[in-house]
Amino acid sequence: MKKTTVLRKAIMERRAVVVPGCHDALSAKVIEKCGFEAIQVSGFGLAGSLLAKPDVGLVQMKDVLDLTWNIVQAVNIPVMADVDTGGGNAINAAWVTERVITMGAAGLNIEDQVFPKRCGHLAGKEVIPAEEMVGKIKACAEVRDRLDPDFIINARTDVFALAGLDEAIRRCNLYLEAGADLAFIDGIRSRADIERAVKEIKGPLSVNLMDAVSGVKTELIPIPELARMGVGRVSIPVASIMVMHKALTEFFTALKNSPTGILAGQTRWLSSFEEYTTFVGLEEYRKLEEEFLPKDKLEFKYR
């Protein structure tokens, strides 16, 4: 079954399929190994891992596409791209959609913020007119229908923080009517808001739980409860980059403060060399060498 078909089936079942965010190919591979069904590329995570900058529209679209390609190739489960505002107007968004589909992604998020955009949980957001976003979605949907009808277009609106739930629901329905498959109200607040949105939006709803640990702007609701409400997808977009930041900070702080300058025997800090190299596939590359390199070269290499 195609990855796009797998993802579409999971979302349309409205069982709150959990789609964690990754910030690079390695974090994507870890998420897959832990048993999740699908992965979301995190624009917040890409900005942090690539530039060590906040998610305020600094990452260029070429970099987004290149990094997304790396992530798609690293895993065997469906990957949803994050194309922010689509790279410009409707024409740019259609071109980006074509690139994302042809690289093998199973879906994308596109949002109605003004460019340069920013993380949905930051202050200072602005949105474009709903009619302009409708045009972007129609353009993306034309590409989807031509190349892979199962590809998922997730239309995100950031209007909740600016104009409230009524306008957010109105926009979601406009975007679904224009051809989106999934609607996403970023920064939605409460259980009651989510319950109302599920009932009034004419398609599956995506909910963002940010890091699955703290509520941030959206109330932290257990996944089984969201499934009972009929939520289509749950994204957990920033956990991977936050976990990495904390782990690196704690390890290197301990190393710097160690009287000996080392942490001998304190294996809790990291995977073993063998565990890591096995995880990233070193053994498979060793087998390829044995199959394809001349024997004398191989013997000299590993003498």
How do the domains of the chain map onto residue ranges?
3-244, 271-303
H-only helix segments in 38-116: 43-46, 61-74, 90-102
- Give me the pLDDT at residue 124, please: 78
Share of the chain above pLDDT 70, in %: 99
Q: What is the pLDDT of residue 125?
A: 85
Encode pLDDT of 164-215 as tens digits: 999 999 999 999 999 999 999 999 999 999 999 999 999 999 999 988 898 6
Q: Which is more confident, 57 or 176?
A: 176
Q: What is the pLDDT of residue 42?
A: 97
Q: In this predicted model, which residue has the larger pLDDT, 230 or 218?
A: 230
8 Å CB contact between 39 and 28: yes
- The DSSP bridge partners found for residue 80 are 40, 107
pLDDT band at 20; cut points 50, 70, 90: very high
Average pLDDT of the residues in 213-220: 83
- Summarised one tens digit per residue, pLDDT across range 102-151 is 999 999 999 999 988 877 677 778 999 999 999 999 999 999 999 999 99
Least confident of 1-10, 133-142, 213-222, 242-251: 213-222
Nearest to 137 by CA among 126, 125, 145: 145
3-244 homologous superfamily = Phosphoenolpyruvate-binding domains (3.20.20.60)
Backbone angles phi, psi at 198, to 5 degrees: -60, -40
Q: What pLDDT score was predicted for residue 120?
A: 67
Residue 129 has a CB neighbour count (10 Å cut-off) of 9
Q: What is the mean pLDDT of the chain?
A: 96
Segment 275-280 mean pLDDT:
97
Question: Can you give the pLDDT at residue 118?
Answer: 75
Rounded distance, CA 16 to CA 194, Å? 12
